[in-house]
Amino acid sequence: MKQFIKNTTTFFLLALIPLVLLTVGYLYYDPFQVLRSYRDYSNQYVISNRDYISTETFINNNDKQNYNSFIFGSSRTLGFKPSSWVKYLPKGAQPFSFDASGESIYGIYKKIKFLDSLHIKPENALIILCRDDAFAHDGNHEGHIFIKDPKTSGESALRFQLKFYKAYFNIKFLFCFYAYTFTRHYHPYMNGFIEKRKVAYDTITNGIILTDLNKELMQNTDRYYTTRADIFYERTGERKDSISRINKKHLYMLTEVKRILEKNKTNYKVVLSPLYEQIKFNDADLSLLKTLFGNRLYDFSGKNSFTDVKSNYYETNHFRPNVGDSIFQIIYK
């Protein structure tokens, strides 16, 4: 019996060694950059949680910057550069891009409530709603890339951290992460785990800069789109979303967003994204948004002069800053 216990204990301790070593690696490398605070989150090679980056950048800088103007929305907000937006705002505006990957109205609502809890009164706000993301969720995301920072969601910080710790132990992630960490060579099998492109974040405004793609476009625009001909699929003209996506929870959050902004006398505008897909917002959803926001709502969904032009897009998911600049001219005319 003593020998059995000894053998079992030895086996158990040996089995723990890989777990301990991998955990030490997790603590040392902080692959998702959620264990420690960083001044600059640019050029990470692990696909990151943008919600966390935005929230932590705001918290780290606000005492010094005194932000008073905010852009809310998904990664499509990269088309609305804070440095361009500020040209249309009153003197003294301090813009901040408070965006998140795949942002939903839940995330926007939580961020605006978070600011309100800090007694921050936004003077200006730009809310970007995307047909495919804005109303896809009425609660927190589950995936580690999309889950909300607990400082804004109000949910468990431990649960938040466990999401990343669990994601780290995905066998494919471990292989991709350490293969790239030790060799610094990207391979196609790393797609979905390792960020091939260089993505920079302005350390003050939190604006997104697609460094590699901008450089490629600047060098040869025609070649950029020729090499991506298979990405830019042919569209058949404008279609309308057949699904009404705004439910009662969404409506409550939209109403609260409006209430808080109007309580603070915020000059806010709501923009429906011009997506490459050329699918118009559902009629019922559009009618509801028009009733709620009136002339503060600007609809660029569907087929229009922006969505017709392929060169207005980095790929089929993200439009370029020239589109945002043109929209600024329209909504602030």
| DSSP-assigned states of every residue in 188-243 | GGGTTTB--S-EEE-TTT--EEEHHHHHHHHH-HHHHHHTTTTTS----S-EE--S
**Is 242 exposed, middle or buried, given 0-12, 13-18 or 19+ CB atoms closer than 10 A?**
exposed
Residue 144 and residue 122: Cα distance in Å, rounded? 29
How many CB atoms neighbour CB 46 within 10 A? 20
State the residue range of the domain holding 297: 44-154+198-331
Q: pLDDT (tens digit, 0 to 9) for every residue of the chain, 333 residues total?
A: 555 455 555 555 556 788 889 999 999 999 999 999 899 999 999 999 999 999 999 999 999 999 999 999 999 999 999 999 999 999 999 999 999 999 999 999 999 999 999 999 999 999 999 999 999 999 999 899 999 999 999 999 999 999 999 999 999 999 999 999 999 999 999 999 999 889 999 999 999 999 999 999 999 999 999 999 999 999 999 999 999 999 999 999 999 999 999 999 999 999 999 999 999 999 999 999 999 999 999 999 999 999 999 999 999 999 999 999 999 999 998
The pLDDT of residue 315: 96
Residue 231 falls within a domain, yes or no? yes
Tokens at 178, concatenated: 């350490």
The pLDDT of residue 172: 96
- Among residues 80, 77, 127, which one has the least CA distance to residue 102? 77
Residue 239 falls within a domain, yes or no? yes
**Is 249 exposed, middle or buried, given 0-12, 13-18 or 19+ CB atoms closer than 10 A?**
middle
Residue 245 and residue 281: Cα distance in Å, rounded? 9
- Among residues 210, 199, 164, which one has the least CA distance to residue 33? 164
**C-beta of residue 85 within 8 angstroms of C-beta of residue 126:** yes
- The DSSP element (H or E) to which 268 belongs, if any, is strand 267-272
Say which residues have a Cβ less than 8 Å from residue 200's Cβ, sequence separation at least 6: 42, 43, 208, 209, 211
Residue 55 falls within a domain, yes or no? yes
Residue 316 falls within a domain, yes or no? yes
Total count of domains within the chain: 1
Tokens at 245, concatenated: 């996506």
The pLDDT of residue 2: 57
Residue 7 falls within a domain, yes or no? no
Q: How far apart are the first and last CA of the chain?
A: 85
Reduced to 3 states (helix: H, G, I; strand: E, B; else coil), residue 89 is coil
The pLDDT of residue 127: 98
CATH of the domain at 96: 3.40.50
* Distance, CA of 142 to chain centre: 15
**C-beta of residue 110 within 8 angstroms of C-beta of residue 103:** no
How many CB atoms neighbour CB 149 within 10 A? 24
The pLDDT of residue 277: 97
Residue 179 falls within a domain, yes or no? no
**C-beta of residue 73 within 8 angstroms of C-beta of residue 54:** no
Residue 35 falls within a domain, yes or no? no
Tokens at 221, concatenated: 């625009």
What is the pTM assigned to this prediction?
Answer: 0.93
Residue 333 and residue 323: Cα distance in Å, rounded? 15
DSSP per-residue string spanning 17-79 = HHHHHHHHHHHHH-TTS-SS--S--TT-SB---HHHHHHHHHHHHHHHH---EEEEESGGGGG
Residue 230 and residue 234: Cα distance in Å, rounded? 10
Reduced to 3 states (helix: H, G, I; strand: E, B; else coil), residue 316 is coil
- The DSSP element (H or E) to which 329 belongs, if any, is helix 321-331
The pLDDT of residue 142: 86
The pLDDT of residue 333: 85
Residue 192 falls within a domain, yes or no? no
Residue 267 and residue 326: Cα distance in Å, rounded? 19
